Structure 1
Amino acid sequence: MLDMLSNLMPFKAEAKLKIESWTNIERPGKPDKTFSAFINPDEISLNYTVLTERNPTPGSTGNAGAFLGTSPFEVTLKFYLDGTNANGVKLDVKEKIKEFYEATGYDGKGHRTRFLRINWPGLIWYRANQFAFDCILKSASINYKLFKPDGTPLRAIINAVFTEKRTDTEVQRDRDDQSADLTHIRIVKEGDNLPGMVYQIYGSVKYYLEVAKANNLVNFRDLPPGLKLVFPPFDKNLKRIGDA
């Protein structure tokens, strides 16, 4: 069964999904650790729950209670680790599981689990234009499927659940994601360019130099995938050279 799944996975020799981790919730700069995996996109579950009052109004029937908010967004992933070389990729299952734990598990210096960012350029993580998911590990289970005669694992499946975990500032900025008068945060995906992203937010490309300055971009023509950019509100009367 795992061989069949491996054959269905595109770009076998390239890791498509990455889990990056930091000890700081701000997730500054390059990640401290990274877990890269080959994963079937069909094994990704996105869970979003709306919370309402459970105490119904006396005399009412068949109606949801008042809106209370939303629970943290959750993502469930299933990783297939195959060390038999059946798909042409050499993989040490034991080392890969160790890599997963070191990237997602408990950090002694921070005295807690690590702050994570899941990157998959081809998938929008529910929120509009968000191509990365800031989270923490909620739970993980490992199911070993095949062993060498000496007990070394050859195949395993990691089932992991991640809960959204963002900074308070990011949560506040996301309250009204459709307004150009508020600050926006976007994660760069492959193929993005700054003028195009600026146009999506403001409806005009004239602010791209101001956005580059706000993010301290030295070379805004070469944006690496996974980079977090802040799009602050600007004076709508701002005019640049070339504007009518």
Structure 2
Amino acid sequence: MAREQLRKATITVLAGANKGKVISVLFNPSEYSFERTNAYKSVPIPGLGTPLLQFVNGELDTLAMELFLDDYTDPEGPTSRERTEREPVKARLKDISGLLEIDRDLHAPPPVRFNWGPMEFTAVIDKLGRKVTKFHPDGTPTRATLSVSFKEYRTLRRQLEEPRRESADKSKRRVVVGSDSLWLMASREYDDPGEWVRIAEANDLDDPREILPCDWLLIPPMENPGGTGDAL
């Protein structure tokens, strides 16, 4: 049975002056972790022993792992049968560290795509730690371990095309599209077309048929939505 080749992870720069540049690493971690958090606000209520928690927004995914670079094992190891590295550890350390610098075209650090086998994660590098453990006689790094934290990156276009569900207990603004009516909007927002009156009142509409395509409407919150925002 043939020995399975060790796949390399790659970091591809998606925008900016170095768009399209691919940086590869040896990658055989014992683990990697995803983390996501939500933000809540404590609302003090007179007379209660503890404040109420109110949901504010969701945070982005964070991917954390250790990446390995090595001049000695890489050219002669199993990965060389797939692709031999053209750049030594010193150059790749510089390239990866440079991804935290402000790009001259973007005026911000560039977004990247991390790939390893079936995993694909579009992100910016949020945090980077470097530990060099082997050197050439002149002090040039030849082996290094990188502790990397990637923060999920979502463009405005992607967020508009793939909107996440929003809570019904917050006011929102919606644009009228095509043959939209208050009945259809109420059905989408509240699962009840009869709630069109709530939208009409919030927008001072005497005639619910007055709306036109491209008009913006305020969608008021429900009075007692489910979840931590329930009224007492």
Report TM bin, short chain. 0.5 to 0.7
Q: Distance in 2 between matches of 1:40 and 1:121?
A: 12
Secondary structure of 1:166's counterpart equals coil
Secondary structure of 1:170's counterpart equals helix
Secondary structure of 1:99's counterpart equals helix
Pair 1:66 & 2:58 matched: no
Residues 57 and 11 from structure 1, CA distance in 2 versus in 1: closer, same or farther, beyond 3 angstroms?
farther
Higher-Rg member (1/2): 2
Residues 70 and 148 from structure 1, CA distance in 2 versus in 1: closer, same or farther, beyond 3 angstroms?
same
Does structure 1 conserve the Cα–Cα contact (< 8 Å) formed by 2:131 and 2:145?
Answer: yes
Deviations 1:11-35 (A, max 9, x none): 32x32x22211326xxxxxx52111
| TM-score under structure 1 length normalisation | 0.53
Partner of 2:103: 107
Between the aligned residues of both structures, percent identity stands at: 24
Q: Distance in 1 between matches of 2:5 and 2:100?
A: 25
| TM-score under structure 2 length normalisation | 0.55
Partner of 1:11: 5
Q: Distance in 2 between matches of 1:104 and 1:93?
A: 18
Does structure 2 conserve the Cα–Cα contact (< 8 Å) formed by 1:136 and 1:163?
Answer: yes
Superposed, which structure 2 residues align to 1:71-220 within 5 Å? 71-85=59-73, 88=77, 89=80, 92-102=88-98, 105-123=101-119, 132-176=120-164
RMSD: 3.0
- Please list every run of 5 or more consecutive structure 1 residues that lacks an aligned counterpart in the other structure: 1-9, 25-30, 124-131, 178-244
- Please list every run of 5 or more consecutive structure 2 residues that lacks an aligned counterpart in the other structure: 166-232
37, 43, 46: which one aligns with 1:55: 43
Q: Distance in 1 between matches of 2:53 and 2:156?
A: 27
